[in-house]
Amino acid sequence: DQQVKQNSPSLSVQEGRISILNCDYTNSMFDYFLWYKKYPAEGPTFLISISSIKDKNEDGRFTVFLNKSAKHLSLHIVPSQPGDSAVYFCAASLGSSNTGKLIFGQGTTLQVKP
């Protein structure tokens, strides 16, 4: 039972354009969502998060949007840079304290072309 899904295995974008990565979830009890970026042979690096009481959170070039009615979140990267090329994972947790386990999607490989 895949509670968090990233339906696009890969995405290719031109440098300077917007990258939009999507994530769907099934459990309406999730109340905290995170995006991580992962390079080969390294661990995931935290990018940005959002609480379920918000619908948008922005940090520099990264913005996360949450649509609770659709159980959908997205990560926007603008402008995209070649260094953004990596695998992006969305994750969700139960419990507002975020001390519990994270449930990850399968990941989307982003390639930003120069």
| Residue from 51, 56, 82, 113 in contact with another protein (CB under 8 A) | 51
Q: Which class for 105: exposed (0-12), middle (13-18), buried (19 or more C-beta within 10 A)?
A: buried
Of 14-22, 57-65, 67-75, 104-112, the window that binds another protein (rule: CB under 8 A) is: 104-112
Of 10-18, 38-46, 57-65, 76-84, the window that binds another protein (rule: CB under 8 A) is: 38-46
| Residue 53 contacts another protein per CB under 8 A | no
Look at strands 62-67 and 56-59 and give their pairing: antiparallel
| Residue 1 contacts another protein per CB under 8 A | no
CB 63 within 8 A of CB 76: yes
Of 13-21, 35-43, 62-70, 74-82, the window that binds another protein (rule: CB under 8 A) is: 35-43
Cα–Cα distance for residue pair 35/65, rounded to 1 Å: 11
Cα–Cα distance for residue pair 89/91, rounded to 1 Å: 6
Q: Where do contacts with another protein occur on this chain (CB under 8 A)?
A: 4, 6, 32, 34, 36, 41-46, 49, 51, 89, 91, 96-107
